[in-house]
Amino acid sequence: VTGQAERHDVVIALGSNMGDRLEHLRAAIREMAAELIQVQRASSVWETAPVPADQPPFLNAVVVAKTALYPHQLLATLKAIEHRLGRRKGRRWGPRPIDLDILFYGDRKLEEEPLTIPHPRIAERGFVLAPLAEVCAGPLPVLGAPAKELLAKVGEEGLERTDEALL
């Protein structure tokens, strides 16, 4: 359509293990909609064992969205949303009200500090793969294998699907 910026398909992982976790996931989706990131589909909400283990359990989900933002703009926007929802710098992989990670940006591969796409730890994380398998059934961009297959390798221990809906 004339005058409309090209929109790209992106996949974003959400996680929260502080405060009202479900509300943080929902608020993040509302904020994305207000920031040119249109969420099309959402996975179930999963309750997952924390990694590392010395912190409260997480709620995790994955959304598929369309955006006209370029990868670095998308990262900056997600970081701003994290900040608005109370995320402050803490220890690496420590507790947080919200984490928003870019899993995929179309089928692009990007290794430009400080942004790596696909997200480098997808294949080792059940808490990403279980919700991802619900919204991306086929072979994943770049990685080539379906999420379900990667999930079978890491196992489903510590992952529990909840009945909460995000959209």
**Contacts to Mg ion by CB under 5 A:** 99, 101
**Active-site option among 21, 26, 101, 125:** 101
Task: Tell which residue, 105, 90, 82, 94, has the closest CA to residue 25.
Answer: 82
Locate all alpha helices (DSSP H) within 13-125, ordered by sequence. Answer: 21-33, 71-84
Retrieve residue 53's tokens.
Answer: 């283990």
**Active-site option among 99, 121, 125, 161:** 99
For residue 102, the partner it binds in ligand ATP, Mg ion, none, with Cβ less than 5 to 8 A by kind, is ligand ATP
Residue 87 annotated in active site: yes
Residue 96 annotated in active site: yes
Contacts of 133 (CB under 8 A, 6+ apart): 146, 147, 148, 151
CA pair distance 6, 12, nearest whole angstrom:
19
For residue 114, the partner it binds in Mg ion, ligand ATP, none, with Cβ less than 5 to 8 A by kind, is ligand ATP
Establish if 121 lies at the interface with ligand ATP (CB under 6 A): yes
Cβ count within 10 A of residue 52: 9
Return the number of the residue (73 or 165) whose C-beta is nearest ligand ATP: 73
Closest CB 151 distance from ligand ATP, rounded Å: 17
Closest CB 15 distance from Mg ion, rounded Å: 6
Residues known to be catalytic: 87, 96, 99, 101
